[in-house]
Amino acid sequence: MSLVTRSLEVIRGHQAPTGAYPASPTFSAYRGYSWLRDGAFIAEGVSRHGDAEGAVEGATAFHAWCARVVGDRAGQVEALIARPGAPSPAEMLPTRFTLDGLDGTDEWWDFQLDGYGTWLWALAEHTARHGVTVPGADKAVRVAARYLTAFWHLPCYDWWEEHLDRRHVATLGAVHAGLRAAVRLGVLPAADAEAARRAISAIAELIAAEGVAPAGHLRKWLGGDAVDASVLSCVVPFGLYAPDHPVGAATVAEIERRLAVGGGVHRYLEDTFYGGGRWVLLAGLLGWNHARAGRREEAARYLEWMAAQATPSGDLPEQVSDVLLAPERLQEWVDRWGPVATPLLWSHGMYLILADELGVRP
């Protein structure tokens, strides 16, 4: 069985009846929860293989689940917008939900804006690709766009549930892409569409002013010195900078120089989570950038490395622990949450995306 076929099987087999994609069905900290960010990339991978049995229906079901989750919180969003002053992080919409679409009861680093932007981007990609109608999407797009337009400027947790006090470039890139998608979908009232356009311009101007390092590459957060592999998304797929733009090209080159090792990709140099291993999904993201830039041989090497990390049963992990940035920190995470999350459905989704970019089919 090819890993494309196996990835589709893993994702389809674990998708909840509600349409939600669990981040990892067995990992103690993720079990029973679905993230908009993870799920959006998973759905994009599935959607790209629409000739496979149930693929279009599965991706559509996920987007319909998101539409219900976001649409059901319209009143909460309006209340947040109406209140004076900035809401506290605890008052904002969650980053993850139970598979039934409810707020979770477990404590989590919950205020993250990027998932809402990433979902809008993925929804627009899926509906344009297959011409499908997602139930409830119009209302949810309006809710998500109003939420992001009102609060994009606030500090929040990043992709990795860290650094609440920072404004993260990858988060801003996701919001930028999501608002562009919302405008493109054509369901926003005129005033909301205009407000979204203003936010899109302001985000681009802010990143250009504070999110680009003197060396010309994107920073991990505004005004900082660190780099983070998540900013690859600002090039491909979010398109804040094109692959051949000087900032886009410098960002991909800097991430590869500093964070890529032997086909795998670290999150950032100070990472200590499970010892700071190499992430399978980030190899897919870097390979995706290479593929879009026409560097197919480089992209293929990342796809091959991803496949080589699969277990004998064909499950892809979140990260691998053979090359660690902080090996002395591995055991504390194993003791806390158990072995590395395997399978991680986001890893399988990214494998499907890169495989599609390179024309690898089942």
Where b means 16+ CB within 10 Å and e means fewer, 103-125 reads eeeeeebbbbbbbbbbbbbbbbb
Question: CATH code at 271?
Answer: 1.50.10.10
Q: What is the pLDDT of residue 361?
A: 86
With respect to residue 200, please indicate whether it lies within any of the assigned structural domains. Answer: yes
Q: What is the pLDDT of residue 362?
A: 80
Considering 38, 318, 356, 357, which one is annotated as catalytic? 318
165: annotated active-site residue: no
Q: Is 161 a catalytic residue?
A: yes
Taking each continuous run of H as one helix and of E as one strand, the counts in the chain are 13, 6
How do the pLDDT tens digits run along the chain, 362 residues long?
799 999 999 999 999 999 999 999 999 999 999 999 999 999 999 999 999 999 999 999 999 999 999 999 999 999 999 999 889 999 999 999 999 999 988 889 999 999 999 999 999 999 999 999 999 999 999 999 999 999 999 999 999 999 999 999 999 999 999 999 999 999 999 999 999 999 999 999 999 999 999 999 999 999 999 999 999 999 999 999 999 999 999 999 999 999 999 999 999 999 999 999 999 999 999 999 999 999 999 999 999 999 999 999 999 999 999 999 999 999 999 999 999 999 999 999 999 999 999 999 88
Active site residue 158: yes
| pLDDT of res. 313 | 97
Among residues 110, 158, 315, 357, which one is catalytic?
Answer: 158
Q: Does the CA dihedral 219-223-224-230 come out positive or negative?
A: negative
Question: What pLDDT is recorded for position 1?
Answer: 79
**Taking the CB of residue 66, how many other CB atoms lie within 10 A of it?**
30
Flag whether 362 is in a domain: no
Residue 146 included in any domain: yes
Q: What is the pLDDT of residue 85?
A: 87
Query: Domain containing 10: what range?
Result: 3-357
- 3-state DSSP call for residue 168? strand
Residue 17 inside a domain? The answer is: yes
Q: Which of 161, 210, 254, 298 is catalytic?
A: 161
Domains: count for the chain: 1
Sign, CA dihedral 97-6-52-347, equals: positive
User: Residues 275, 280, 285, 286: what is their CA dihedral angle, to the nearest 10 degrees?
Assistant: 70
